[in-house]
Structure formats: C-alpha cells, structure tokens
Amino acid sequence: MKKIMRYGFIACLLACLSVCALAQQPAGTDESRKMVAEVCAAAAEMTSLQCDFVQVKQLSLLQTALTSKGKMYYRGGDRLRWEYTSPYTYTFVLNGDRVMLKSSEKTDVVSVRSSRMFQEIARIMLNSVTGRCLADESDFKVTMYKADGQWEARLVPQQKEMAALFSEVRLHIDPKLRMVTVVELKERSGDTTRIEMKNVRKNGTIDDAVFSVQ
C-alpha cells in the first residue's frame, strides 16, 4: 500500500506542476514550442488547484486492477495535500519545510531538510512555480505529441532515483485547460499506474487548515 501511495504522490506532483517538465522540451517544431509555451503560461497564472482523482494500479503479476480514490489540493509554491479517501485513508501534506504523513494508525511530521527525497520534491515544486525550471534540464527528457485534438508529453526520467522506478511517464494534457488531466506511470517492474484528475478547479480559495501540519 505504501508503494502505491508514494507513486500516487509522485504522479500528483507531475500533474499539478508539470510546467517543470514541459519547459524542458528541446527545441523542435514551431507547434511543439507553441504547446509548451501555452502550458507554461497557464501554469504561471495558477495560484491554486484542487481536484478529485481516481488511481488505477495494474500489477504485472495480477489480472485485476487496484482502484483507489481521493482529493488533491495545491496552493502557492510550497503547499500540497494528497489525500486517499477510498478504499483506505492516507494523507500526505507538504507545507513549507515540513511534511506530514498521516494514516489511520499514526501521524508523522518530518523536516524536508532531513530527507533527500523530500528535498528533491521541494526543489522540483519550487523550480516549477518560480520558473527556475526553464534553465534546468536535469529532471526529464521530454517529447511532445499531438493527435486527435489531444496533447501528450512523454517524460524519460534523468535522475537516478526516478529512473530506477520508472521507464517512462506520460502526461495527457487538456488543450482547453492547458493542464495535465491524466498521468500514466510505467514502472521498471512492468506495473503501471494511471491517475485521472476530475472536477478540476483552478485559482479558487483553499482554507489554510487544509495544509495544516501538526
């Protein structure tokens, strides 16, 4: 279960902060550059994001898929809440330099500075929001696609930790919203995870209590 939740959180970051990856698209056709520019412009205007999500995990050794549901909230450059509500409850909250991991059994609060993984999460998040990612091509190699009125970014991880887990990440982008609505994670093990964002609401008011870490 912890593995599924960890991958879900990674997918969440890629979905709501995908401007980081998209901004690293190598110079290509005018159409590709235009797609990237439009998504980046939309991301720059986003101050908050909230949505429901459905996560489907397909294990390579099983015939049935594991489905879970939850909610995601993002605000500013350092606040994120990824919450599973069914069939189990688990919450991950990032607020500044602190992270809270909460299950039905216990709650842990840790400092971002104490963990290299959390430091990387914070780095990617802040680079995405502030635009520093435009000069950083170390996280993903990205290829853009367009077919049947839909956009897709295919990301190949460049960092050792991510590359050890995933062979490829695919971001399905709604060209009207100019944002990611589906994330597909293809793991080295052969397992796949698909997360679809639903009821997306941008730039709305989100109460501070949502991001409380205690």
Number of domains, the chain: 1
Which distant-in-sequence residues (6+ apart) come within 8 Å of 148 by Cβ? none
The vertex-48 CA angle with 94 and 67, nearest 5°, equals 65
Instruction: Determine the pLDDT at residue 25.
Output: 46
Question: What does the pLDDT read at residue 170?
Answer: 84
DSSP alpha helix (H) spans, 49-190: 116-130, 160-165
pLDDT under 50: residue ranges of the chain: 1, 4, 17-27, 128-135
Q: Would you tell me how many other CB atoms lie within 10 Å of the CB of residue 192?
A: 16
Structural domain contains residue 185: yes
pLDDT of residue 124: 59
Assign residue 32 the CATH number of its domain. 2.50.20.10
DSSP state string for 13-31: HHHHTTHHHHTTPPS--HH
- What per-residue confidence (pLDDT) applies to 161? 73
Give SS3 for 3: helix
Spatial distance between the Cα atoms of 78 and 129, rounded to a whole number of angstroms: 9
In the Cβ-directed half-sphere of 96, how many Cα atoms lie within 13 Å? 6
Asked, for residue 67, whether it belongs to a domain, the answer is yes
Does residue 58 fall inside a structural domain?
yes
Does a structural domain hold residue 145? Answer: yes
Query: Is residue 206 domain-resident?
Result: no
Question: Domain range holding 134?
Answer: 2-200
Q: Compute CA distances 205 → 39, 50, 72, 76, 147, whole Å.
A: 22, 10, 14, 11, 34
Among the listed residues 128, 144, 145, the one whose alpha carbon sits nearest the alpha carbon of residue 136: 128
Residue 209 resides in a domain: no
Following DSSP, what letter does each residue of 176-191 receive, concatenated?
TTTEEEEEEEEETTS-
For residue 28, is it within any domain?
Answer: yes
Establish if 210 belongs to a structural domain: no
Residue 47: Cβ within 10 Å count = 14
Let me know how long the chain is.
214
> What is the distance between the alpha carbons of residues 139 and 118, in angstroms, rounded to a whole number?
15
- Between CA 63 and CA 58 the distance in angstroms is 8
